[in-house]
């Protein structure tokens, strides 16, 4: 008996000569929001298709919601999975309502909840009467999310859900994802927009060339990557060199524009350094601690994998 919503064990997927997924282990716990990142062709979509039961592994095993998602007996399981594919193509001549009704029939879900779904994703009553061909990219993506939410999925796969959306729409998209997660839905989210994933995902999985090269919370990945933390000081005095060298003892120092000095140090040395700055340099105007970004950690794990 497993507690995981999805469990991928030693999975390899080969397409002819191409090994799209290589020996991947991955678990998704109930109510977890996991971000999967990786370069083009890293194997993210292949892994999602395997968990959806659209393809079968060449080696290894997959269990989703307690069953094998590819087996014919598991269609009740597949009804509890939602999927927003990377490139959604709806029929242009159907209205929003007709489209959602159509997908509800396909999924065997009741259409009674469709109005609530339109409201959840922010599609106005006037908009759902219009043909999809008149929709903006943002409206199509909202409709795509409503489609993925049909039947109240326990597990939701979102493949590049925010590509092409403006910042406000991206925020509202993530607000819906957070609400779903709070209600216990497990979410796996693929994206190339690493910066916007910070703060959204409980865990980040980094894929490269079919392999999983890192898996953990941002804090775990930070401690694994051991990238330097940067401490930015805004110094009021002209004597930047003296002050900077005094506070910067033992830390790599860079002068930035506008009297700002950046000190790079190991994460474990950060508190000591901040103490020293506070004691020795009362004239510091401002202090900012910049943790390694997900972009930087991602680049680090890819370089490490390439070197291995």
Ligand X SMILES: Nc1ncnc2c1ncn2[C@@H]1O[C@H](COP(=O)(O)OP(=O)(O)OP(=O)(O)O)[C@@H](O)[C@H]1O
Q: How far is the CB of 46 from ligand X (least distance, A)?
A: 3
Sign of CA dihedral 201, 204, 209, 212: negative
Q: Which is nearer to ligand X, 20 or 277 (CB)?
A: 20
Q: How far is the CB of 150 from ligand X (least distance, A)?
A: 23
Q: Which is nearer to ligand X, 41 or 122 (CB)?
A: 41
Q: How far is the CB of 19 from ligand X (least distance, A)?
A: 8
Residue from 23, 31, 41, 216 binding ligand X (CB under 6 A): 41
Q: Are strands 6-15 and 18-28 parallel, antiparallel or unpaired?
A: antiparallel
Q: Which is nearer to ligand X, 127 or 201 (CB)?
A: 201
CB atoms within 10 A of CB 63: 19
**Could you please report the per-residue DSSP string of 235-287?**
--SS-HHHHHHHHTTTSEEEE-STTEEEEEE-GGGHHHHHHHHHHH-TT--EE
Torsion angles phi and psi, residue 160, rounded to 5 = 50, 55
CA distance 77 to 71: 10
Q: Which is nearer to ligand X, 15 or 106 (CB)?
A: 15
Q: Is residue 164 a contact residue for ligand X (CB under 6 A)? A: no
Stretch 44-83 residues interacting with ligand X (CB under 6 A): 44-46
Q: How far is the CB of 219 from ligand X (least distance, A)?
A: 25
Stretch 12-31 residues interacting with ligand X (CB under 6 A): 15, 18, 20
Burial (Cβ within 10 Å: 0-12, 13-18, ≥19) of residue 117: buried
Q: Partners of 34 in the beta sheet? A: 188, 203
Which of the ranges 35-43, 137-145, 149-157, 264-272 carries the binding residues for ligand X, by CB under 6 A? 35-43
Residues that bind ligand X (CB under 6 A): 15, 18, 20, 38, 40-46, 86
């Amino acid at each position: 008996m497993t507690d995981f919503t999805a469990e991928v064990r030693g999975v390899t997927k080969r397409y002819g000569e191409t090994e799209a997924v290589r020996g991947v282990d991955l678990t998704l716990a109930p109510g977890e929001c996991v971000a999967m990142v990786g370069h083009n062709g890293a194997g993210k979509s292949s892994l999602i298709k395997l968990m959806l039961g659209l393809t079968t592994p060449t080696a290894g095993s997959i269990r989703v919601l307690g069953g094998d998602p590819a087996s014919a007996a598991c269609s009740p399981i597949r009804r509890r999975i939602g999927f927003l594919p990377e490139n959604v193509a709806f029929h242009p001549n159907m209205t929003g309502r007709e489209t959602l009704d159509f997908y509800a029939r396909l999924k065997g879900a009741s259409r009674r909840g469709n109005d609530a779904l339109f409201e959840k994703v922010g599609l106005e009553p006037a908009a759902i009467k219009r043909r999809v061909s008149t929709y903006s990219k943002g409206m199509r993506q909202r409709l795509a999310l409503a489609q993925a939410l049909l039947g109240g999925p326990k597990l939701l796969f979102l493949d590049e859900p925010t590509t092409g959306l403006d910042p406000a729409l991206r925020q509202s998209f993530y607000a819906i994802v957070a609400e779903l997660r709070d209600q216990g839905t497990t979410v796996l989210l693929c994206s190339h927009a690493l910066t916007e994933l910070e703060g959204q995902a409980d865990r980040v999985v980094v894929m490269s060339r079919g392999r999983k090269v890192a898996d953990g919370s941002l804090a775990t990945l930070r401690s694994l990557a051991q990238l330097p933390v940067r401490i930015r000081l805004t110094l009021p005095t002209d004597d930047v060199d003296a002050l900077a060298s005094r506070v910067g003892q033992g830390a790599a120092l860079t002068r930035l524009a506008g009297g700002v000095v950046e000190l790079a140090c190991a994460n474990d040395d950060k508190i000591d350094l901040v103490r020293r700055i506070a004691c020795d340099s009362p004239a510091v105007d401002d202090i900012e601690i910049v943790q390694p970004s997900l972009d930087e950690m991602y680049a680090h794990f890819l370089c490490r994998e390439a070197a291995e």
